[in-house]
Amino acid sequence: MGKEILKNQNDDEAIQLLRASTVAYGRAKMWENIVTFVLLFLSFAYPIFYSCSDDDQMKLILFQVSFFLYILVQVFSPSLKGNTSQGALIKEEFDTKIFGLPWKSTLKRIDAFEISKLSNNYNGKPIKDWYPTNFSDKIPNQILIATCQRCNTAWDIELRNKYSSFLFAFIILYTVAFGLLIVFKNLDGKTVFFICFSTLSFYTHFVTIIRGHRSVIEKRTAINSILDKHIFGSTEPTMQELRDIQDEIYLTRQESVKVPDLFFRIFSRQTNNAFDNFLERVNKHFGK
> CA–CA distance from 272 to each of 42, 69, 155, 243, 278 (Å)?
36, 40, 8, 26, 10
Of residues 61 and 177, which shows the higher confidence score? Answer: 177
pLDDT in tens, 171-215: 999 999 999 998 888 888 888 888 888 888 889 889 989 999 999
Q: What is the pLDDT of residue 287?
A: 72
> Is pLDDT above 80 for 11?
yes
Average pLDDT for 69-90: 74
Q: What is the pLDDT of residue 3?
A: 62
Based on its alpha-carbon atoms, the radius of gyration of the chain, rounded to whole angstroms, reads: 23
Express the helix, strand and coil content of the chain in percent, nearest 5 each.
80, 0, 20
pLDDT in tens, 102-137: 998 888 888 999 999 999 999 988 998 888 888 888
Q: What is the pLDDT of residue 78?
A: 62
Cα gap 75→144, rounded to integer Å: 43
Closest by Cα among 129, 91, 111 to 246: 91
The tally of CA atoms less than 13 A away on the side-chain side of residue 110 is 25
Q: What is the pLDDT of residue 95?
A: 94
Where does the pLDDT of residue 267 fall: very low under 50, low under 70, confident under 90, or very high at 90 and above?
A: confident
Where does the pLDDT of residue 82 fall: very low under 50, low under 70, confident under 90, or very high at 90 and above?
A: low
> Is pLDDT above 70 for 156?
yes
Q: What is the pLDDT of residue 151?
A: 85
Of residues 286 and 161, which shows the higher confidence score? Answer: 161
Cα gap 5→286, rounded to integer Å: 18
Where does the pLDDT of residue 8 fall: very low under 50, low under 70, confident under 90, or very high at 90 and above?
A: confident
Backbone angles phi, psi at 122, to 5 degrees: -75, 130
Q: What is the pLDDT of residue 202?
A: 87
- Looking at residue 256, what DSSP letter applies? S
Q: Let me know the angle formed at the C-alpha of 160 by 154 and 162, rounded to the nearest 5 degrees.
A: 105
CB atoms under 10 Å from CB of 83, counted, come to 22
Where does the pLDDT of residue 248 fall: very low under 50, low under 70, confident under 90, or very high at 90 and above?
A: very high
Q: Cα 274 vs. chain centroid, distance in angstroms?
A: 19
Where does the pLDDT of residue 31 fall: very low under 50, low under 70, confident under 90, or very high at 90 and above?
A: confident
Assess contact for 153 and 223: CB atoms under 8 A: yes
Q: Let me know the angle formed at the C-alpha of 260 by 275 and 251, rounded to the nearest 5 degrees.
A: 70
Q: What is the pLDDT of residue 56?
A: 76
Assess contact for 177 and 199: CB atoms under 8 A: no
Q: What is the pLDDT of residue 152?
A: 84
Cα gap 37→21, rounded to integer Å: 24
Where does the pLDDT of residue 92 fall: very low under 50, low under 70, confident under 90, or very high at 90 and above?
A: very high
> Is pLDDT above 60 for 2?
no
Closest by Cα among 170, 168, 200, 179 to 43: 200
Cα gap 260→262, rounded to integer Å: 5
Cα gap 196→203, rounded to integer Å: 10
Give residues with Cβ within 8 angstroms of 248, minimum separation 6: 219, 222, 223
**Average model confidence (pLDDT) across the chain:** 86
Q: What is the pLDDT of residue 17?
A: 95
Q: What is the pLDDT of residue 81?
A: 55
Least confident of 33-42, 55-64, 85-94, 245-254: 55-64
Assess contact for 98 and 8: CB atoms under 8 A: yes
